[in-house]
Structure 1
Amino acid sequence: MSCYIFGDIIINILDSKMADWNDENTRILCELCAEQVKANNRSGTHLNKIGYDNVMAKFTERTSISYDKLQIKNKWDKLRQDYTNWKVLLKETGLGWDNERKTVRASDAWWKKKTKEVKGITKFKDRGLQNEDLLAEMFEDIRNSGDDHWCPLSDVVPQSPAHEIHVFNQDEEDGGDKDDESAAEEVTPSCGQGKRRRVPEKDKGKKSKTTRGQWMEEQFYYIVSLNEKTSASCESMARREDTSGCAIKDVMALVKECGAKAGSKEHFIATQVFTKKAEREMFMTLDTLEERFEWLKMKYEWTTRNDIFK
């Protein structure tokens, strides 16, 4: 973790000296990136080679500033983190709303505590998220994709925290089109297998041929370690059922039953707030269909009045 933080700080320092991301340049970048996402030029969590090339060319055309691919990628990562933090902030309950600053209103003590929980969230203390509509186009469908959580029952191998250091991998960003004979063989551990692969005696003391080989070796050990810690809990989660009567499917059935038809504002607000178990439990405490429908109506009015969706 310390290496991740150190690497992130170094990259941020270097990037800040070379790139001027003022409000106008950031807005233009967001517009261009959102345009490429709509054009299906995003592979996984980042733009592909075509997307990056288009953004760089159009950004230079509109601003007369030429940034390279790494600078654009670093800014993409920062914007994605900002968008994620903003969504985390909006889920907080018991806070006020500052219409002038377009952000939540909370005490200094609350912000100080929250900073320890979510890195970088205090940037929203004095001003809300800028370009939220464009950032939603860029990141909303991958924000909760589960890329940072892995269950051994899944065939998808996660990225480790070390990968989040801004290491530029040309083949990865280009969609893996280039051949690399020196690339290490892919190894995927089986579910429940917690022992590390033994390194043959003849290989000890030998240096990896490429940086990529070293990276793959680190990822293998990280995945094995993660497997040891999560296999039991993931198996349990796979078998777990919501027996509280507050499952999303059950609650949404009651939403329709009380008169909130699909497409109505009452049905819409239900799809937003009932992702939280506490909200579903509160809804279930209401006795009649009329009370539930009125609650949904008031919830929608309160949410829009406080600019939660803006």
Structure 2
Amino acid sequence: MGDSADWNEDNTALVCELFAEQVKAHNRSGTHLNKTGYKNVMDKFKEKTGLSYTKMQFKNKWDKMRIEYTNWKRLSKETGLGWDTAKKTWSATNERWKNLNKQYKGIAKFKDGPLLHEEEKAIMYEDIRNTGDDHWAPSSGTTPQILEGETTENTDDKDGDYEANDDKDEDYEECEEVSPTTAKGKRHVSVGRKDKGKKPRSLGGHWVQDQLSKLVTASEKSTASVESLARKEDNGCSIRDVMALVKECGAVPGTKEHFIASQVFVKRAEREMFMTLDTPEERFNWLTMKHDWLTRMSH
């Protein structure tokens, strides 16, 4: 086997057929095939093509096609699009396609033609497709989040690349040390190592005023640092903020996903875990699995 997977049209058509076959055989757990499903696909694909691809290469292909299928379905929810009978796809101005592609990465590929192998992909993805963010319209006032592929191991696959963003840490200024003493109710101010071992200077008026100014400055810096840290910790993780994301990912009031969110997100740890998920689709699936898991635990 080479270092990369060759997903030409014939190989893509075959893998769609094999994926759909395993879903119909109930070999999908959650949003992906289970171990048995992937093994069956790997064995049959090798038998028909002579190519021996890894499970991760098949998983990357599954993820890529899942995004394509979701984007194709989104187009049917967009207002103002026409239908091009010649190309068998939706028609729009170049500017509209450009804006759509900013909102949903990769969706502009359908400008030139329809989704291929839609019947097999409907079997593979339709019942797990996140429909919540398909209903976005410009009048909603909120900006939809771009659906990215699920994070996977980095493999040499000609279909696409996966990227990761690194967070930057914030630095906080240190305050001068201020330590109390019990000797006659006075306070001792540490003013730096270079004064260590030297005799205290006479507490003249100017020196006292200078030290008080330093104390005020240090206190202001300390307060600002604490407030900045508190804002950083609370930013986007309040119950109100998290429940807004719950609705945006499709878990609207009345669904089991919205109900379980209202129960578990009173705990900050649960909210923080939810905020680590990057896409609306991941959040919706997490809520579904959380509900199912807690339901089983209660029986």
Interval containing the TM-score (normalised by the shorter chain): 0.3 to 0.5
Instruction: Please give the TM-score of this superposition, normalised by the length of structure 1.
Output: 0.45
The structure with the larger Rg is: 2
Give the structure, 1 or 2, with the largest relative contact order (CA under 8 Å, sep 6 or more).
2
